[in-house]
Amino acid sequence: MFEKLEEKLRRFNKLQGLVADPKVISNPREYKRYAKELASLQKIVSKYDEYKRVSEEISSLEGVIKEKHNEEEFLKLAEEELREEKHKKEALVKGLEELLFEKDEDRDKDAIMEIRQGTGGIEAALFAQGLFRMYSKYSVKRNWKTEIISSSLTEKGGFKEVVFSVSGEGVYGRLKYESGTHRVQRVPATESSGRIHTSAATVAVLPEAEEVDVEIKPQDLKIDVFRAGGRGGQHVNVTDSAVRITHLATGLVVSCQDERSQHKNKAKALRVLRARLFDKIKQEQQKKISQNRKIQIGSGDRSEKIRTYNFPDSRVTDHRIGFTTHALEDVLNGDLDEIIDALKEADKKSRMK
């Protein structure tokens, strides 16, 4: 662990020199990239500096106590202070482990979430809507802000697809564990025989990328505008406000028609495109890492069945870590912390190995 910390400290010191270099300062994009990396290392370096200071204080106090010739009252005070400093050191070690082994450089980013109806017809669309409600309620509990970017409703209710942003403190670091296939087992309202149906919805959680993370060149984009269609308000089918953006280099296509303004739809579509491009880069990096070791938890693999919501037993099971709770209603009402905390702990242990 300490080798990794020293490595980060060396990188931090190097970055401090780079952001003060006139050549770097004259290149805004390069300067912003280095400044951002420097800021991301600040917390762990500060904690490591504090750890070293406390370690030195412990050594000094142990030396004082060893001498034995000090006054008894003074020795008692030194021993009490030593105990306090050792407690501090233990807490610092734990904090450093969390920052080092749980540290995802994107953990503090906002997120863009995409929920799509899977197998199961209308029941799957209703489940997708239920998942959106669950994440919306969870966001309220954590004082995060959600904003729908685009959505597509079925004629009988429920979402074919909904794309929305979540912003706030530490959003991606917690929600990244939600990527994957979610499965529901329940009796649909339309089922007269009481037979349990199994349906699914997929969830993708993408770190919201900034311009410094992904460069999108105007010449790489094909932008089409068209008349909004489908369910909506009175403005639908009145103006050519809907926007479709195709990224020619990768073939990624993003459409947005929820806003009346073409300009707003374009801005939202670009946010999603930038997040998808950034995610594509991350997934390719993850594949390279996976050749040597596979980190299952938090890998963002959307093809993996990660969780089952079983209504007859009021049970929620996360299959990655074998976690089960019988508080189904609470979970669907946004009480996700117990599951996410368990996933974070398992992820940390996996990384430490």
Query: Which is nearest to 174 in space by CA: 146, 138, 202?
Result: 138
pLDDT of residue 43: 86
- Whole-structure pTM over 0.75, yes or no? no
Q: What is the mean pLDDT of the chain?
A: 85
Model confidence at 112: pLDDT above 80: yes
Q: What is the rounded distance in angstroms from the CA atom of residue 203 to the CA atom of residue 199?
A: 14
Q: Report the pLDDT value the prediction gives residue 39, as an integer from 0 to 100.
A: 83
Q: Which of 291 and 207 is assigned the larger pLDDT?
A: 207
CA 32/CA 193 separation, integer angstroms: 62
Q: What is the predicted pLDDT for the residue at 279?
A: 85
Q: Token match 């009252």: residue? A: 73
Q: Please report the pLDDT score of residue 234 as a whole number.
A: 42
pLDDT for position 239: 61
Share of the chain above pLDDT 70, in %: 87
User: What is the per-residue DSSP string for 86-97?
Assistant: HHHHHHHHHHHH
228 or 85, higher pLDDT: 85
* DSSP notation for 270-330: HHHHHHHHHHHHHHHHHHHHHTT----TT---TTSEEEEEETTTTEEEETTTTEEES-HHH
In whole angstroms, give the CA distance from residue 351 to residue 296. Answer: 10
Q: How far apart are CA 180 and CA 308, in angstroms?
A: 11
Element housing 128 (H / E): helix 121-141
For the record, the structure tokens of 63 come out as 């030396």
Segment 151-185, tens digit of pLDDT: 888 888 899 999 999 999 889 989 999 999 999 99
Q: Cβ atoms within 10 A of the Cβ of 294, count?
A: 11
25-57 pLDDT, tens digit per residue, is 998 878 888 887 888 888 889 998 999 999 999
| Percent of residues, the chain, with pLDDT higher than 90 | 41
CA distance 333 to 295: 29
pLDDT tens figures, 270-293: 989 989 988 888 777 666 545 444
Domains of the chain: 2-101 (1.20.58), 111-210+299-352 (3.30.70.1660), 218-288 (3.30.160.20)
Instruction: Give phi and psi for 50, each to the nearest 5.
Output: -65, -40
